[in-house]
Structure 1
Amino acid sequence: MKLTTINNQTRDGQLVVVNRAGNRAVTVPQIAQTMQQALDNWDSVAPQLNTVYQHLNDEGLNDAFDLNLDEVMAPLPRALQFLDGSAYLAHVERVRRARGAEMPPSFLEDPLMYQAVSDGFLAHNQDIEVVSEEYGIDFEAEAAVITSDVPMNVSAEEAGQYIQLVCILNDVSLRNLIPAELAKGFGFLQSKPRTALSPFFVTPDELGEAWQNNKIHLPMRTWLNGEWFGEPNCGVDMQFDFAQLVAHAAKTRPLCAGAIIGSGTIANHDMAKGSTCLAEKRVLEVIEHGKPSTPFMSFGDDVKIEITDGEGHNIFGTIHQKVVKY
């Protein structure tokens, strides 16, 4: 099943069911007005939405319309919670090695995770507005899951049943602001502006065999200014799967329906697969040459992120954003 939200001049938009091709949609106000409302009542709502989805794909619906991607908002325009992990230790290890630090053994057993910005998400094609290029503007291609209500202290074995939707995202970072913030010992704030979500959320079954062991076994493809940047596989070298990340987040508190759990920057040990953020490419340059040569993003630069399956289907739609001066 594929879902998104279209702009109806309200903060939370109008939930629509989208066909598999991503070009036709239908509103479902009789089932749920918004994505959050659907997630709040997922057990009863999901079967109804899926019935609409099947009809939309199989025979079409009289009230279906051509989907204009320019009217598509972030599928969940604002979430009650966004927790971002760092499940790809190839990325963590390289960043630490570049500054002469070893990766603590605990990182193999205890996921890194922080409380991210959730009160607003950028649409897939919305400009990344930044005050200054001196902030060190970077993109981060990630995958994420969206949960229904998750009980506190859920086990990793049980947590997978609460994963209801999957998406990709661009977790924008302002790299030059990060060191001073982390040095305070209190985490990210100014260095993490709003994140962009893919045009579509899909249920895990929409990924077919590519969804196994609570991971997406497909490459995350990224282009910077039209040039290939990387395509590491999301299912490779992921130390903690999404069920483990959900369980980690819920260890001491329940998660409310609509919680978004991010994977962190996708990275493989195979460096031929490229990178999904500028910081990692710069780190590799430091390791090899002693200093970085790749600059961070400038005003006018653009990034494109997507995942396609083996048959070339663009599952989540494309994130394509340009950096502009605020």
Structure 2
Amino acid sequence: MKLATLKDGSRDGKLIVVSRDLKKAVTVSSIAKTLQVALDDWVNTEPKLQEIYIGLNQNEIADSFDFNENACMSPLPRAYQWADGSAYVNHVELVRKARGAKMPESFWHDPLMYQGGSDSFIGPRDDIQAESTDFGIDFEAELAVITGDVAMAADPKAAKENIRLFMLVNDVSLRSLIPAELAKGFGFFQSKPSSSFSPVAITPDELAEAWDGEKVHLPMMVHLNNKLFGKPNAGVDMTFNFPELVSHAAKTRPLAAGAIVGSGTISNVDRSSGSCCLAEKRMLEIIESGEAKTPFMQFGDKIRIEMFNQQGQSLFGAIDQQVVEYSK
């Protein structure tokens, strides 16, 4: 099943069901006005939404309309929880190596995770606004899951059973602000502005054999200014899988339905597949030549993030954004 949230002038938008080919959609306000409402009562709403989804794919819904990704908010325009991991540890190792820092052994068996701002996500086709390019504006292409209610101390098996939906993520980062924040020993805040998510959120079955219950074995396609920047496979070199990440997030507290848990920047040891963020490419350049040559994003730069199934069909629609100067 594929779900999206249309802009309607409200803070949380309007839930719609989208056809598998992303061409048609239908409103479902009689079942749940918003995605959060649907998640809060998933046992009852999921079968009803699934029935509509089947009918939509069979062209049996009379009041369907053309689906427009540009009219979408992030599936959850705001969420109770946004916890982003760093499951691709080789990416972390690379970044630390470039600055001459040794990576602690614990990073290989204890996931890194930070709590991001979740009160106002950016729409998948909305501009990325920044006051200055001196902030070191970067994109980070990731996958994320939306959970149901997860009990505190849930093990990975229990966590897996509560994965409701998948989305793509652009975890926008302001690289020049990160060092000073981390030096305080209290984590990210200003260096992690609002993230954006794909137009569509999908249930795990939509991934078919690409989802093995732990990882998604498909490449993440990233284009910067209409040129291929990277296509690393999300199922390769993922040190911590999604059930493990969700279990880690719930170690000392429960997760409420609608919690979002991210994978962190997708990264492969085989560098021929490119990268999912500018920082990684810059680190490779430093290691190779002693100097970073690729600049961070400038005003007017465009980033497109998308994932296709094995038949070449877009699964989530595309995050397609431009960096613009913020005006007060």
Q: Is this a same-fold pair by TM over 0.5?
A: yes
Classify the secondary structure of the residue corresponding to 2:240.
coil
Within 5 Å, give how 1:107-122 maps onto structure 2.
107-122=107-122
- TM-score, normalised via structure 2 length: 0.98
- Unpaired runs of 5+ residues, structure 2, are none
In the TM superposition, residue 60 of structure 1 has moved relative to its aligned partner by 2.7
Q: Deviations over 1:160-214 (max 9, x none)?
A: 0000000101000000000000000000011011001100000000000001132
**Cα deviation 1:202-227 (Å, max 9, x = unaligned):** 00000000011321100001011111
Q: CA deviation at 1:68?
A: 2.3
**CA distance in structure 1 between the partners assigned to 2:30 and 2:289 by the alignment:** 60
Q: Which is further off, 104-113 or 54-63?
A: 54-63
CA distance in 2, matches of 1:85, 1:92: 11
Distance 1:103 1:58 in 2: 52
Distance 1:60 1:287 in 2: 57
**Which structure 2 residues correspond to residues 184-199 of structure 1 after superposition, within 5 A?**
184-199=184-199
| Superposed displacement of residue 27, structure 1 | 0.8
Q: 1:269 Cα shift?
A: 0.3
Kindly provide the CA deviation profile for residues 141-173 of structure 1, in whole angstroms up to 9, marking residues without a partner as x.
000000011100000122100000001010000
Q: Which residue of 1 aligns with 2:267?
A: 267
Q: In the TM superposition, what is the alpha-carbon distance from 1:71 to its structure 2 partner?
A: 1.6
TM-score by length of 1: 0.99
Q: Partner residue of 1:6?
A: 6
SS at match of 2:73: coil
What is the letter of the counterpart of residue 61 of structure 1?
I
Equivalent residues in 2 for 1:221-260, closer than 5 Å: 221-260=221-260
- What code does the residue aligned with 2:75 have? P
State the shift of 1:313 in Å.
0.5
Provide the C-alpha distance between the structure 1 equivalents of 2:4 and 2:112, rounded to a whole number of angstroms: 29
98-107 or 137-146, larger mean C-alpha shift: 98-107
**Alpha-carbon deviations, 1:67-116, whole Å to 9, x = none?**
22222111110001100000001100100111112221111110000000
Q: 2:318, 2:178 → 1: CA distance?
A: 27
Q: Tell me whether 96-105 or 196-205 shows the greater mean CA deviation.
A: 96-105
Residue-by-residue CA offset, 1:276-304 (whole Å, 9 max, x unaligned): 00000000011111110111010000011
Match of 2:146 in 1: 146
Identity across aligned pairs (percent)? Answer: 57
Give the alignment's Cα RMSD to 1 decimal.
0.7
Which deviates further from its counterpart, 262-271 or 62-71? 62-71
Secondary structure of 1:46's partner? helix
1:31-180 matches, within 5 Å, as 31-180=31-180
Count of residue pairs brought into register by the alignment = 326
State the alpha-carbon separation in 1 of the partners of residues 106 and 12 from structure 2.
Answer: 40
Query: Are 1:306 and 2:306 counterparts?
Result: yes
- Rounded to whole Å, the distance in 1 between the matches of 2:51 and 2:197 is 25
| Equivalent-residue separation in structure 2 for 1:34 and 1:228 (angstroms) | 35
Q: CA deviation at 1:66?
A: 1.1
Residue 63 of structure 1 deviates from its aligned partner by: 1.2
CA distance in structure 1 between the aligned counterparts of 2:110 and 2:243, rounded to whole angstroms = 13
Q: Is the 8 A contact 2:69 2:317 kept in 1?
A: no
Q: Which residue of 1 aligns with 2:201?
A: 201
Q: Which runs of 4+ in 1 moved over 2 A?
A: none
Q: Is the Cα–Cα contact under 8 Å of residues 142 and 171 in structure 2 kept in the other structure?
A: yes
Counterpart residue identity of residue 293, structure 2 = S
Q: CA deviation at 1:275?
A: 0.3
